[in-house]
Structure 1
């Protein structure tokens, strides 16, 4: 066996890799070749020295987890300016709407012109709408997530109602007091839209329970994520 082939096999043995020739033949050559014996001894001493340096460095190394910069703790988005007063104002308007509905349900005069009073069923229907709007505004003030639905229904209702109010006002069927009694509904719609817009404009809260992935780990300089090693061949020299 040539020395070059034997040394290649010995180098693979030292590295823990598969030897290209049977180990028995390599050992026979090593026993009969002084040059290869000297080379093998030098390689073993260098490998032991290298392993000792690596072991000593590991004892002084700081864990990678300690070198990874920790991101600052996420801060919750503060309440946007005006969101407090908008919800309070919406709740107040809803309460006013309910008061007007209760007065009308009790038979009180809420601005109906004499001689142009509405039928009993129409009055009851108007009262029901006023109660529904008042309660919906209170719910939207307490739960801003529900403000969108209230805003859509209220906007359609006030748009249609405005047309009737203008027509009846020109015909003299309603007076100024009755017209002013519809202002809480209009103000409630505007405030509901404002509450909804401010609620949806808030940034989402960060997910604190998110599991970190490998991409979130910052490695030190000159370090790599490594790769999976393939199959390691045995070194007992069973190759043919």
Structure 2
């Protein structure tokens, strides 16, 4: 989805997306500027999706942004489609965002720890020496899932 979104943004940059820079809403704002903002958003979302593909724990940052963008874009796109100010092909290009959002949700939910609150830390070493509940028997057993050890925020240990 990241590559598809980046391709859409690059198609807008070179002018092959079929979208016109002159058309759409008449808001008193230069439509070329609005087209450039759309292009920037498509490229930025594509880069963000690519980053989350490489770093799945980054979904916690991308998820609110893409969710809000889709929540605002869907009603505007439906209105534009019904009024005839956007072509079905242009509106359908936003399906990439909806699919991308679905994939973000899947990756994000798969990266949650057992408590469902903190993302799993892949590659982090467990700090068994500081864990009071660690016993030699527990340390020798293979672990199927690493536990993220939360540490106090300040220099002083919690009582």
TM-score bin (small chain)? 0.5 to 0.7
1:46-195 to 2 correspondences below 5 Å: 93-112=1-20, 116=23, 119-195=31-107
Structure with greater helix share of residues: 1
Could you tell me how far 1:160 is from its partner in structure 2? 0.3
Structure showing greater Rg: 1
Output the CA distance in 1 between the equivalents of 2:113 and 2:136. 32
Is there any run of 5+ residues in structure 2 with no aligned partner, and where? Answer: 26-30, 115-119, 138-159
Output the CA distance in 2 between the equivalents of 1:152 and 1:132. 14
Which of 189, 200, 210 is equivalent to 2:129?
Answer: 210
Could you tell me how far 1:148 is from its partner in structure 2? 1.3
1:6-45 to 2 correspondences below 5 Å: none
Q: State the aligned residue count.
A: 124
Could you tell me how far 1:116 is from its partner in structure 2? 3.0
1:121 to 1:212, Cα distance in 2 relative to 1, 3 A? closer
Matched-pair contact (CA < 8 Å) for 1:144–1:199 = yes
Q: Deviations over 1:198-223 (max 9, x none)?
A: 0114677883642687x9489xxxxx
Is there any run of 5+ residues in structure 1 with no aligned partner, and where? Answer: 1-92, 219-240
TM (normalized to structure 1)? 0.46
TM (normalized to structure 2)? 0.67
Output the CA distance in 1 between the equivalents of 2:136 and 2:12. 67
Could you tell me how far 1:110 is from its partner in structure 2? 3.2
